[in-house]
Amino acid sequence: MSATEVKTPRPVMGLYDKPMWESVRAGAMKLQRCKHCATWLYPPGPSCPKCLSPELEWTRVSGEGKIVSWVVFHRHYLPAYPPPYNAIAVRLAEGPTMISNLEGTMPEDGCIGRAMRLVYVTMPDGVMLPRWRYEG
Amino acid sequence: MTPSPLAFGGRHPNPRNKRAAAVIGVGHTDWVRDWQRCRAGEQPNDSLGYGLEAFRNALKDANINRDEIDGLIAGPTTAYERMGELAGLNPRWGDQSDAVMAVSQAVMAIEAGYAEVVALIYGNDQRSVGTQYGGPAAMGGNAHLSYVYHSPWGFTSQGALYALTLQSYKHARGFTEREMGEVSVAQRGWSSLNPNAIQRKRISIEDYLASHYVCQPLHLFDYCLINDGGVALIIAEAERAKKLSSRPVFIEGIGRSDLNSGATSLESRVDEFYLPAQQVAAAQSYAVSGLGPKDMDVLQVYDSFSVHVPLALEGYGYAKVGEAGKFLRESGIGPGGKLPTNTSGGHLSETYMQGWAHQVECVRQLRGECGDRQVKDARHVHYTSDVAGKCFSVIYGV
């Protein structure tokens, strides 16, 4: 299989996504936090959905979270993701929910609610992804 | 989230919307024929062609002249202008909408006086042209960022969105895999009685549990079909409908409520199961119609995936929150059950017409045309839809 065939699916890269992905590449993920009401945004955007303020500050996340749901794919949709593989929804300590993957093991019944820790994983094609491990 | 019947200060749509319009004609293509032709590698028609075949059938069913029509809504899969051109319609009002929005828009246009007889035409060649609902070019990504945003993590396909919803729903409510299976089993029970249905073989809970996962926790039988076809409806202002038709099916009331907060990160699905929006939509339609869940003889739920059904049972007031599983087990939604639901077999078993064919089934149940699957003396049929948090409640009656 050639390198082009295992390309990690490219992220949606709108104007406001770029700083987030740069922070991921630097191994220190940042999200926007509203300067007025302290709401955290995910995905990134032009203004705060809670108070409509456009004054947002890129701020490093704590890397703590909690798993709120999970799935295991059994169908091959994407070259970079041969099944079976998982996806999880994690509630960040800061508030937003993020869709990602559980590293190191597969999720199973009873895992909802477990504490999670953000990790940075380099894909075979060099793309860096924020993923999660069980805490401890 | 707080219970929402009191949301928006308890304000509801104008009660004059009650029975403001009626369906006077329905038409569709032969899904079984086209399924077989597609399986044989043919392309029986294109989206426009399917829509126009359905439109011809709807005109015949309504027994009206095309000149009576002064409003047109084209479905989302075909260009409005080309559909109007081919249908030979130059209406004084027009729109482009998905199924339930189209019904709602037609009623509003009629109520506002912009049109009196509206044709709604939908065609989709999704099977023969291989429309993708997963992967990097997933259909709908332009309208719904959540369909494409999570693909770097391999999270793709409509099924994955609903699998993630079902997993947290199971956890929150104690809902079981076996209870989920009740939906596909019941709908196959119905489709086995429907000669228009593509999948008619009955299945058992054991068959369901033994079937493979596509995206765990969703099994193969939790997924809708992907097939070609078309549907058309003709909706007329109530007085006009009575003059034009001997068997109008009235729209008793419509409610809508959208939950957009947390849509892209999926919080509205995974945390809330769209419940607050469903409750507001339900309350609005019940207030306009003066009817409630107890008045409904048949329920039709938009079912791209089976998990829509338990969410609807709770959201639209048929089961207490947390008791949809018990309802599925004890009351039942299949043939012989207390709440006949998706009596055509729905998207899972009859045809995947993205909500359009459900409207046809509502009308036919109320006209008493459903043969072996007819629900006796059906007076009120409820259609619900929660696609991407746009929650609708439409009540049909005779």
Domains with residue ranges and CATH for chain B: 21-130+227-244 (3.40.47.10)
A58 touches B: beta carbon within 8 Å: no
Q: The tokens of A10 are what? A: 């490219």
Rounded alpha-carbon distances, angstroms, from residue B326 to B84, B289, B318: 47, 28, 11
Radius of gyration of chain A (CA): 16
Q: pLDDT tier at A1 (50, 70, 90 boundaries)?
A: very low
Q: Is the pLDDT of residue B4 over 70?
A: no
B215/A71 touch (CB, cutoff 8 Å), yes or no: yes
* Cβ contact A41:A30 at 8 Å: no
Work out the minimum CA distance from B34 to partner chain A, whole angstroms: 26
Instruction: Give me the residue label for tokens 């729209």.
Output: B251
The span from the CA of B333 to the CA of B327, in Å, is 8
Q: Among A10, A74, A97, whose Cβ lies nearest the Cβ of B216? A: A74
ipTM computed for the complex: 0.97
Residues of A whose CB is below 8 A from B214: 74-75
Residues of A whose CB is below 8 A from B140: none
Residues of A whose CB is below 8 A from B266: 89, 97, 99
Chain A: residue nearest B147 by CA? A12
pLDDT digits (tens, 9 = 90+) for B378-395: 999 999 999 999 999 999
pLDDT digits (tens, 9 = 90+) for B295-342: 999 999 999 999 999 999 999 999 999 999 999 999 999 999 999 999
Q: Which of B351, B45, B347 is nearest to B196 (CA)?
A: B351
The 3 state secondary structure assigned to A15-65 is: CCCHHHHHHHHCCCCEEEEECCCCCECCCCCCCCCCCCCCCEEEEECCCEE
Rounded alpha-carbon distances, angstroms, from residue B248 to A135, B83, B205, B232: 62, 26, 39, 15
pLDDT digits (tens, 9 = 90+) for B227-255: 999 999 999 999 999 999 999 999 999 99
Work out the minimum CA distance from B60 to partner chain A, whole angstroms: 43
Q: pLDDT tier at B142 (50, 70, 90 boundaries)?
A: confident
* Cβ contact B236:B245 at 8 Å: yes
Please tell me what DSSP assigns to residue B49: H
Q: Among A9, A99, A112, whose Cβ lies nearest the Cβ of B171? A: A112
Q: Is the pLDDT of residue B125 over 80?
A: yes
Q: At what angle do helices B80-87 and B47-62 cross, to 10 degrees?
A: 50
Instruction: Give me the residue label for tokens 């979270």.
Output: A65
Domains of chain A: 12-60 (no CATH), 62-136 (2.40.50)
Q: Is the pLDDT of residue B2 over 90?
A: no
The span from the CA of B10 to the CA of B279, in Å, is 12
A16 touches B: beta carbon within 8 Å: no
Tell me the β-bridge partners of B215: A73, B218
Predicted local confidence at residue A39, as pLDDT: 98
pLDDT digits (tens, 9 = 90+) for B266-284: 999 999 999 999 999 999 9
Predicted local confidence at residue B14, as pLDDT: 87
Chain B: residue nearest A88 by CA? B164
* Cβ contact B385:B257 at 8 Å: no
A131/B153 touch (CB, cutoff 8 Å), yes or no: yes
A9 touches B: beta carbon within 8 Å: yes
Q: Among B156, B217, B266, whose Cβ lies nearest the Cβ of A78? A: B156
DSSP H stretches of helix in B323-383: 324-330, 346-349, 356-367
Candidates B214, B220, B265, partner chain A, best to mutate (most A CBs within 10 A): B265
